[in-house]
Structure 1
Amino acid sequence: MSLKKSVVAAAILSVLATASLMAGAQTIRIANQGDALSLDPHSLNESLQLSVAANVYETLTGRNKDLSLAPLLATSWKQTSPNVWRFELRKGVQFHDGTPFTADDVVFSFARAKGDGSDMKATLSDIKEVRKVGDLAVEIETNGAFPILPDVISLTMIMSKKWCEENGAAKPVDKRKGIENTASFKANGTGPFRVRERQPDVRTVFTRNANYWGKIEGNAQEIIFTPIANPATRVAALVSGQVDVMEPVPVQDIARITASPNARVITGPELRTIFMGMDQKRDELLYSSVKGKNPFKDKRVRQAFFQAIDIVGIQKTVMRGASRPTALLVGPGVNGWSEQQDKRLPFDVDAAKKLLTDAGYPNGFEVTLNCPNDRYVNDGQICQSVASNLAKIGVKINLATETKGTYFPKILRRDTSFYLLGWTPTTYDAHNALSSLTACPDDKGTGQFNLGAYCNPKLDDLTKKIQSESDKGKRDAMIKEAFTIHMDDVGHLPLHQQSLAWGVSKKVELTQLADNFMYFKWMSIKP
């Protein structure tokens, strides 16, 4: 470790030691490799961001510990017609500032989440109208039959209309444009925890909501959330007892933590798929040596990249076995995944070289690969390995890695030619991935995270039919057909599903979910 890194690590541990002395018996200290980029629940559709916000804000429908659908701010819901759902809202709920929760807040929040600057509008693009039908009832009308709507809205968080309007936060924080407002740094939800202190990239302190409408199972009274980018520092903080929970655990440190007297590692499969995307829309790539045309518009080039990536090598050397190579944009645990269909094209350098030659690039070309270095497990190392693999077919990768704080705004502006992304379907259904990642992008939110603008109208037509189909057999067959089209097109380059690894003090009990959400209400600590 360099002197500079050693000084930074020592400073972090010193701060943690001070916090440890101040923390009470029911304080849980959590460390993560990154921070939530904002407290605004509509500003970024990214799992850490949403996980943090979900402890403060709530949705109409939520999740149980087994990820089944649960009532939250809605107590019940039913379809009153093929295109209309009615939601009965919970009585006696208050926002943290004491303002009563009503249907007006739901109507406002859905409009806000669908508006300009929102990163959540992709899931709401087929909602035609949300209307108040009583102080504690709303109807949601969709453009067509939408049988999975209650699942789709399970991450649309409800904000106080009054608070947002009074605090200049009526519109979402737009991370693409660097726009911030009060909702960036302050929060006023209905959830089991409220924000007491917010220092971006330093620490955020949450305290238990004494007026929460529901039962809080855990005994945590205070949560101190600290971003620690350096993996070795994170591990040292856990092993020494200066933090109680940390994630992700570097795969190479699992054995060390497991052998320590005070901590353990909780592992499990994650629903997230890590993949790579390519700009397939521009006539000339922004960051490439090829001028006057776009090589990624040629399927042969995309397939050459796919077959040049040694995913088994990445699994063994970079992920230390803690990943599952995949050919699909969804994995086990997501409705619509098929083991039979999940077969990758073979790793074949010679075949990849021939494909490039046939496409007119016998000597390869240069292109920039954008990659985060603090968001997914070993993300920077994955991109380095891909760059090494592609060099063997003559492709020179100019690797641009950066912190997620600048990475996501950049790629969400589509200011990229080649990028790495991870995706967890928030509905636990393949439709979410198809609609968000593979659909032709439009101005309503469809294809919002299809950052390379891959487009196949036949797949789009299938995605719309999947959305409205209620017969499971027919629906699963359509999902399979949609993924077949995408695989035949080599629309993206799926890599793997990473495994979850949380480091946890032996004094702490918590619930690990396959979507990598960490709910404070289910966390307890022994004295």
Structure 2
Amino acid sequence: MKSWSFAMCLALAAGSAAQAQTLRWASQGDVQTLDPVSQNESFTNSVNGQIYDFLVARDKKLAIVPSLATEWKQDGPLKWTFKLRRDVKFHDGRPFTADDVVFSVQRSKLETSQIAQYANALGEPKKIDDHTVEFNLTQFNPIFLEHLNTVYILSKSWCEEHKVTKPQDFRNKEETFAARNANGTGPYMLVTRQPDVKTVLKRNPTYWGKFEGNVQDVVYTPIASAPTRVAALISGEVDFILDPPPPDLGRLRSTPGVKVIDGVENRVIFIGMDQARDELLYGSVKGKNPFKDLRVRRALYQAIDVDNIKNKLMNGQALPTGALVPSPVGSGNDPDVEKRLPYDVKAARKLMADAGYPDGFEVTMDCPNNRYINDERICIALANMWAQIKLKVKINAMPKVTYFPKTEKLDTSLYLFGWGGSTLDPEVTFTPIYRNRGEKGVGEYNRGNYKDDELDALAAASTREVDPAKRKELIKKVFLRHNEQVHHIPLHRQFIPWAARANVNVVHRPDNWLEIAWVTVKPTN
């Protein structure tokens, strides 16, 4: 948080006349970019989701429902046809047509898009007429509609006019018109964007959909400091915070005028390791890479007291897991998949000694400090636990705007990461995280850059298997192979309670998505 007066900023942002219908909200980090496919980060997606629409959307229970597409049909395993909503306008008045759909899907497939692996799974879009689009696939996609729910629809002519036909190259710090400007068909329109300071939206007066809430204006302010964020809510300077810190939940529950809205998030927190380089970029061992050795990866795993993290650091607001998938639904609630390696420091020390590191080694761990609940504190706790096996860990904590481009470049040796979203099917974890890095976004989030051909083949097969029973068998094999090789170290699925003023009613979705069109701010007088 910068040194400017928080109260002054809010006072300037929200006029008193519209106070009852203005939502002032905050969380620890900011939107990374307004280019809706440049960064696949949940918070960024959710804010862009107030401005832009998909062809299909999510309801309050995450089921797929019509949005810019009103109906669809599947003609065999490789063809889908969609009828588009008529009389829809972009925020600047341009008409929405099939040309915008085809353009947006193709734009989402480009190299600088972080949803390329999902967009490519949609096959080739084809305009039939202004309000009909056909998708032709080269292979069966068992979760086609889920993938379609990742592609925001942009105006083709607007992108051409402003030279943003390609997604912003966020990794290399490219600045584009679409990074700070927006033109969607969604319920809210961009008014002003000041990165790391304030983002202001207003209700779209020509929105095609329905508003269940009464919010006319939206003021989002990132507040990095947890105590400052909580104090702003208690004092009434903000109406809602997305990420109240776990230690403050008890106090917030007993504070007059404030309420806590509980819920579990579809998100798993985990550790990744560089398993590709012959020598770590940020380690003391020369001439070889300790993380290529399964014994070392397993030693790090077994030195983690995950229950201590859950109970003491997360105040019980976490669900330990051995499966790297956002929801237990994705693992089929299978105990074989969910089972963690046992916490056993003695066994971990033996593994380190057997691998040739009885005295440990030094390594730097990259960690965000404003993305996940207690992210930096988790990294510090892990460093202390790993000290028991003589691993000397230097924590390199940074804001997510710096952290994500760094890991995207594979400029890391050891890192903490989170993965979540709306889709419960494991496919949206397997292709970006489990598979070998390749073309068209495959393995994009395999930031440890490991190569496991057996795992890759199993995951690829599960992606195209038509028979549900056979696919279920393949999915389990993928999980068990990944767990056996300890390519990542799962920690827990985080709970994500929200906190609001008593006069604010919100709908808590398990993908941590605040849908502002559902929010009601009641007068306080």
Tell me the TM-score normalized by structure 1.
0.96
Deviation at 1:331, TM superposition (A): 4.6
Show the 5 A alignment for 1:129-140.
129-140=124-135
Q: Pick from 147, 152, 157: which aligns with 2:152?
A: 157
| Aligned position for 1:503 | 499
Between the aligned partners of 2:120 and 2:445, the Cα distance in structure 1 is 13
| Aligned position for 1:90 | 85
Q: Is the 8 A contact 1:248 1:377 kept in 2?
A: yes
Show the 5 A alignment for 1:8-407.
8=3, 11-19=5-13, 22=16, 23-332=18-327, 334-341=329-336, 342-407=338-403
Q: Is the 8 A contact 1:438 1:447 kept in 2?
A: yes
Deviation at 1:143, TM superposition (A): 2.5
Change over 3 Å in CA distance of 1:253–1:436 after alignment to 2: same
Between the aligned partners of 1:292 and 1:78, the Cα distance in structure 2 is 57
Structure 1's unaligned 5+ residue stretches are none
Q: Could you say what secondary structure the match of 2:75 adopts? A: strand
Q: Could you say what secondary structure the match of 1:119 adopts? A: coil
Deviation at 1:16, TM superposition (A): 2.9
Show the 5 A alignment for 1:412-491.
412-491=408-487
For 1:245, the aligned partner's letter is F
For 1:441, the aligned partner's letter is R
Q: Is the 8 A contact 1:438 1:454 kept in 2?
A: no
Q: Deviation per CA, 1:77-97, whole angstroms, max 9, x where unpaired?
A: 222232222121111111001
Q: Number of aligned pairs?
A: 521
Deviation at 1:174, TM superposition (A): 1.2
Between the aligned partners of 1:158 and 1:249, the Cα distance in structure 2 is 32
Between the aligned partners of 2:7 and 2:415, the Cα distance in structure 1 is 33
Between the aligned partners of 2:328 and 2:305, the Cα distance in structure 1 is 25
Between the aligned partners of 2:255 and 2:309, the Cα distance in structure 1 is 28
Deviation at 1:142, TM superposition (A): 2.3
Between the aligned partners of 2:150 and 2:11, the Cα distance in structure 1 is 35
Between the aligned partners of 2:128 and 2:249, the Cα distance in structure 1 is 53
Deviation at 1:339, TM superposition (A): 4.0
Deviation at 1:394, TM superposition (A): 0.9
Deviation at 1:461, TM superposition (A): 2.0
Q: Deviation per CA, 1:255-290, whole angstroms, max 9, x where unpaired?
A: 111111111011111110000101111111111111
Deviation at 1:295, TM superposition (A): 1.0
Q: Deviation per CA, 1:127-176, whole angstroms, max 9, x where unpaired?
A: 44222121111122222111311111202101000001101211111111
Q: Could you say what secondary structure the match of 1:392 adopts? A: helix
Deviation at 1:334, TM superposition (A): 3.4
Between the aligned partners of 2:344 and 2:407, the Cα distance in structure 1 is 29
For 1:110, the aligned partner's letter is V
For 2:424, the aligned partner's letter is Y
| Aligned position for 2:509 | 513
Between the aligned partners of 1:313 and 1:427, the Cα distance in structure 2 is 29
| Aligned position for 2:406 | 410
For 1:322, the aligned partner's letter is Q
Between the aligned partners of 1:339 and 1:353, the Cα distance in structure 2 is 30
Q: Is the 8 A contact 1:234 1:246 kept in 2?
A: yes
Between the aligned partners of 2:218 and 2:294, the Cα distance in structure 1 is 49
Between the aligned partners of 1:524 and 1:403, the Cα distance in structure 2 is 31
For 2:21, the aligned partner's letter is Q
Q: Which moved more, 1:21-30 or 1:489-498?
A: 21-30
Change over 3 Å in CA distance of 1:141–1:427 after alignment to 2: farther
Q: Is the 8 A contact 1:155 1:426 kept in 2?
A: no
Q: Is the 8 A contact 1:154 1:426 kept in 2?
A: no
Deviation at 1:426, TM superposition (A): 4.1
Q: Deviation per CA, 1:293-350, whole angstroms, max 9, x where unpaired?
A: 1111111110001001111111111111100111001254533332412111011111
Q: Is the 8 A contact 1:425 1:433 kept in 2?
A: no
For 2:495, the aligned partner's letter is S
For 2:407, the aligned partner's letter is I
Between the aligned partners of 2:227 and 2:454, the Cα distance in structure 1 is 48
Q: Is the 8 A contact 1:154 1:427 kept in 2?
A: no
For 2:6, the aligned partner's letter is I
For 1:310, the aligned partner's letter is D
CA RMSD of superposed structures (Å): 1.5
Tell me the TM-score normalized by structure 2.
0.96
Q: Could you say what secondary structure the match of 1:449 adopts? A: coil
Matched-pair identity in %: 46
Q: Could you say what secondary structure the match of 1:59 adopts? A: coil
Q: Could you say what secondary structure the match of 1:512 adopts? A: coil
Q: Is the 8 A contact 2:111 2:441 kept in 1?
A: no
Between the aligned partners of 2:471 and 2:330, the Cα distance in structure 1 is 10
For 2:359, the aligned partner's letter is N
Q: Is the 8 A contact 1:271 1:334 kept in 2?
A: no
For 1:86, the aligned partner's letter is T
Q: Is the 8 A contact 1:425 1:432 kept in 2?
A: no
Q: Is the 8 A contact 1:59 1:155 kept in 2?
A: yes
Deviation at 1:376, TM superposition (A): 0.2
Q: Is the 8 A contact 1:58 1:158 kept in 2?
A: yes
Change over 3 Å in CA distance of 1:334–1:173 after alignment to 2: farther
Between the aligned partners of 2:329 and 2:175, the Cα distance in structure 1 is 34
Q: Deviation per CA, 1:18-49, whole angstroms, max 9, x where unpaired?
A: 54664522111111111101111011000000
Q: Is the 8 A contact 1:198 1:204 kept in 2?
A: yes
Deviation at 1:220, TM superposition (A): 0.5
Q: Is the 8 A contact 2:422 2:510 kept in 1?
A: no
Structure 2's unaligned 5+ residue stretches are none
For 2:284, the aligned partner's letter is S
